[in-house]
Amino acid sequence: MNNLLETPIEYLKGVGPTRGKLLRDELGIKQYADLLNLYPNRYIDRTRYYRINELQNNNAEVQVAGKVVHLKTVGDKKPRLVATFRDDTGEMELVWFRGQKWVREAIKINEPYVIFGKVSAFNGVFNMPHPEMELLSEHQASLRSAMQPVYPSTEKLSQRGISNKMINKMMQQLFVETKALFAEVLPQSIINDLKLLPKNAALFNIHFPKSQELLAKAQFRLKFEELFFIQLQLITKNLVRKHKIKGHPFGNIGEYFNKFYNNYLPFNLTNAQKRVIKEIRNDMGQPAQMNRLLQGDVGSGKTIVAFMSMLIALDNGFQACLMAPTEILASQHFIGLNELAAPMGLNIKLLTGSTKISERRIIHEELENGSLHIIIGTHALLEDKVKFKNLGLAIIDEQHRFGVEQRSKLWHKNDIPPHVLVMTATPIPRTLAMSLYGDLDISVIDELPPGRKPIQTVHRYDANRLKVWKFLKDEIAKGRQVYIVYPLIQESEKLDYKDLMDGYESISRDFPLPQYSVSIVHGQMKPADKDSEMSRFAAGKTNIMVATTVIEVGVNVPNASVMVIESAERFGLSQLHQLRGRVGRGAEQSYCILMTSHKLSNDSKTRLETMCRTNDGFEIAEVDLKLRGPGDIMGTQQSGVLNLQIADIVKDREILSLARQYAIALLKTDPNMKLPENASLRNAYIELTKKKNIWNYIS
């Protein structure tokens, strides 16, 4: 049966080469199976027939049964065809502006019809432009459901006459040709356990639902199946990796780790940090490659965890590297790690695009002879010239900013791939993590170091600016420093620059020398100038740092206690949260002030309310996911990520968790899906993995 579903779409009766090409180009429908999996966006309830005297002027779509009693052409310049349509309660008009000749020839006067379309009233008479019409006899005989499907479409398809009605007809033809016999792919035990509709019934009722209830059951069944297969794939990958991809077992927790832990630890670890280090230690002790995602909010102390993981590699005679997406971030990691490494006499260096050639030579040499213990860098680490003596641990910060090929380059720097730790300060909602990183083991640092006071966040309108400025002056008088950030709108750098410069000038007027000193940092400055301004601010020589989002991942200035974000409505939630994380790094109470105009969209209001309500990055990420959808959150490299046909990661979170549970349980009892009751599941799974789907590339 399934081979029939591989038939090219043009062979379906009523399609042909021209329409086939359109369906391929516009909707990616190449064969019968693709059409079958084109699920409706919404449904129109056609269970109800209205009488003409019940119609309302509300632009709703309705269906009415009656007869055409009269046809005439009206108007000279722009003629239109008008039909009088009558039932036993009254009359209305049907109007056509296009295709009049064809309509006039096709319509049968005084025959019972069912018409469907949008109704409006003009001079007290109801009219329906371009109605869908069907003879009552055909209407009763057709394979039609009470809930009528509305399929995804494009402008080009509509222009070329492939209407929703036509796609519906193709779908009916598909069910006729295949006799609606579709192979069951889920094990009977799961179907019984969850009382799922059989595959045939689910597919029939998604396209031709008999009732609201059957439609809901069909949707649940198909969503579960889709998410179940994704989870099977991710969990299998994880298991395969643990069995097949060899790693160096680091059984030795030795001098470096213990010496640091006992003598040089700058503060007590939180319970969350201890738990995560234990998970990493356990992974690195296995003879399989570690692949772990470390999530922790801004300021939760990921750096020390990364450093202690590096020490485990060093204790076993291996090197470690950390790769970050920008020079600023790489330098910041280097400064932080260098402080921790200095008392231990470790050799640690920084390699970025702006490292001098003479320094590069030394780095390359020391990496190859093994005397360089730890290297921190940007994409520069991926160059072919960079060769390690023995890389044991690769840490990647903010991995969604790196492409897949880039990351795999790092793995191939060794015969046996290094253990991998991926870090992110962008909290990823659990649902998304289960789908995107379902094949990685996940560690979460979910508590902040003690003594940190939660940042107070407030929303103020531009009209309150004087009060805000007074508050800044009071904070500066206490010896604190302030960030003022302007949005960056990529398309119009001139506009950004102007906004920033106008802001800088008015701030310089309101905070004049010699009492105040203001720094400025933006994307058009030379790196050296940027660094010198950053350093002046970090050293406390300036009170205010005016900047674009460059500082989203920037310097660590514990003395900065206020973050003012201008035009906060232009920022996404995760960006607002990242910016807020630049303050609150010292012991003082810190503040984040979101400035906006009075004109705010509903989404902007939700973002601002969320920021003021909570400091919890995971909660913020959940709201962000609801507002933006999964594609945007992962950044461009992975925006095509989940090419889901029916499920929705945000709305169907419960089904996703359920699917994951069942996938884990099944693979526990039958890891290779070899049992006879899982035969059809295995076949479907093999077919799926042949298609180089995005899931195969996620991490």
Give the pLDDT confidence score for residue 493 in this predicted structure: 62
Q: Reply yes or no on whether the pLDDT at 52 is more than 90.
A: yes
3-state secondary structure of 73: strand
Mean of the per-residue pLDDT values for the chain?
A: 87
pLDDT of residue 530: 83
Mean pLDDT for the stretch of residues 638-658: 72
DSSP 8-class letter at 50: B
Question: Band of the pLDDT at 404, cuts 50, 70, 90?
Answer: low
Burial call 337-352: b when 16+ CB within 10 Å, e when fewer: beebbeebebebbbbb
Question: CA 619, CA 429: separation in Å to the nearest integer?
Answer: 8
Which tops the pLDDT comparison, 643 or 169? 169
Q: Is the pLDDT of residue 288 over 80?
A: yes
pLDDT tens digit sequence for 4-39: 899 999 999 999 999 999 999 999 999 999 999 999
pLDDT in tens, 555-568: 678 899 999 999 99
Closest alpha carbon to 293 in 307, 280, 281: 280
User: What confidence category does residue 357 fall into, taking pLDDT thresholds of 50, 70 and 90?
Assistant: very high
Amino acid identity at 419: H
Determine whether 360 is exposed, middle or buried from the number of CB atoms within 10 Å of its CB (0-12, 13-18, 19+): middle
Q: Is the pLDDT of residue 513 over 80?
A: yes
Whether 681 has a pLDDT exceeding 50, the answer reads yes
Q: What DSSP letter does each residue of 582-637 carry, written as one string?
A: TS--SSS--EEEEEE-S---HHHHHHHHHHHH---HHHHHHHHHHHH-HHHHT-GG
Range scoring the smallest mean pLDDT among 206-210, 412-416, 495-499? 495-499
- How many Cβ atoms from other residues are within 10 Å of residue 658's Cβ? 18
Position 129 scores a pLDDT of: 94
Q: Quick: pLDDT tens for 461-470.
A: 999 999 999 9
Per-residue pLDDT at 635: 41
Please write down the long-range contacts of 496-504, taking CB distance under 8 Å and 24 or more positions apart: 496/522, 496/548, 497/522, 497/524, 499/566, 499/567, 500/546, 500/548, 503/546, 503/566, 504/546
Element of type H or E holding 71? strand 61-74
Higher pLDDT, 621 or 664: 664
Q: Does pLDDT of 68 surpass 80?
A: yes
pLDDT of residue 550: 65
pLDDT of residue 182: 92
Listed in sequence order, the residues at least 6 apart from 175 whose beta carbon sits closer than 8 Å to its beta carbon are: 143, 204, 207, 208
pLDDT in tens, 377-392: 998 999 989 999 999 9
Paired with 132 in beta bridges are 116
Banded pLDDT at 145 (limits 50, 70, 90): low
The DSSP string of 81-112 is EEEEEEETTEEEEEEESS-HHHHHHHPPTTSE
What does the pLDDT average to over 163-174?
A: 93
Q: Is 116 helix (H, G, I), strand (E, B) or coil?
A: strand
Please check the confidence at residue 638 and state whether its pLDDT lies above 50. no
Q: How far is CA 252 from CA 281, 559, 663, in A?
A: 10, 40, 35
Closest to 489 (Cα-Cα) out of 403, 595, 566: 566
So what's the pLDDT on residue 694?
Answer: 39
Q: pLDDT band at 696, cuts 50/70/90?
A: very low
Segment of 592-606, 617-631, 635-649 carrying the highest mean pLDDT: 592-606
Predicted pLDDT of residue 640:
37
Would you state the structure tokens that stand for residue 105, as one six-digit string?
């020839």
Average pLDDT over residues 324-339: 87
pLDDT of residue 43: 84
Q: Regarding predicted confidence, which is higher, 692 or 311?
A: 311
What strand order describes the sheet that includes 481-485? 456-461, 591-596, 560-565, 481-485, 544-547, 518-521
Q: Which residue, chain included where needed, has tokens 């089904």?
A: 655
Correct CATH for 456-614 of 3.40.50.300, 1.10.8.870, 1.25.40.10, 3.65.10.10: 3.40.50.300
Indicate the helix (H) or strand (E) that contains 240.
helix 212-244
Confidence of residue 318 (pLDDT cuts 50, 70, 90): very high
Q: Is 495 helix (H, G, I), strand (E, B) or coil?
A: helix
Phi, psi at 485, each rounded to 5°: -110, 135
Q: What is the pLDDT of residue 27?
A: 92
pLDDT-above-70 percentage for the chain: 91
Degrees (nearest 5) of the Cα angle 406, 410, 414? 150
pLDDT of 669 above 70: yes
Res 641 pLDDT > 80: no
pLDDT over threshold 80, residue 396: yes
CATH of domain 47-143: 2.40.50.140
Q: Which uninterrupted H or E stretch holds 442? A: strand 441-445
**% of the chain residues with pLDDT over 90:** 55
Same fold yes or no, 47-143 and 456-614: no
Answer for the pair 432, 649: CB distance below 8 angstroms, yes or no. yes
Most confident of 268-272, 442-446, 591-595: 591-595
- pLDDT-based confidence at residue 546 (cuts at 50, 70, 90): very high
Whether 292 and 442 have beta carbons less than 8 Å apart is answered as yes
Return the pLDDT at 637: 34
Mean pLDDT of the 312-339 span:
91
Is the separation of the CB atoms in 673 and 681 below 8 Å?
Answer: yes
Q: How confident is the model at residue 242 (pLDDT cuts 50, 70, 90)?
A: confident
Res 400: pLDDT: 62
| CATH architecture for segment(s) 255-284+300-424 | 3-Layer(aba) Sandwich (3.40)
What was the pLDDT predicted at 299? 75
Q: According to the model, what pLDDT value does residue 401 have?
A: 61
What ranges do the domains of the chain cover?
47-143, 182-250+618-699, 255-284+300-424, 456-614
Sorted by sequence, the CB contacts under 8 Å of residue 360 that are 6+ apart come out as: 351
Kindly write down the DSSP assignment for every residue of 252-291, as one continuous string.
---HHHHHIIIII-SSPPPHHHHHHHHHHHHHHTSSB--E
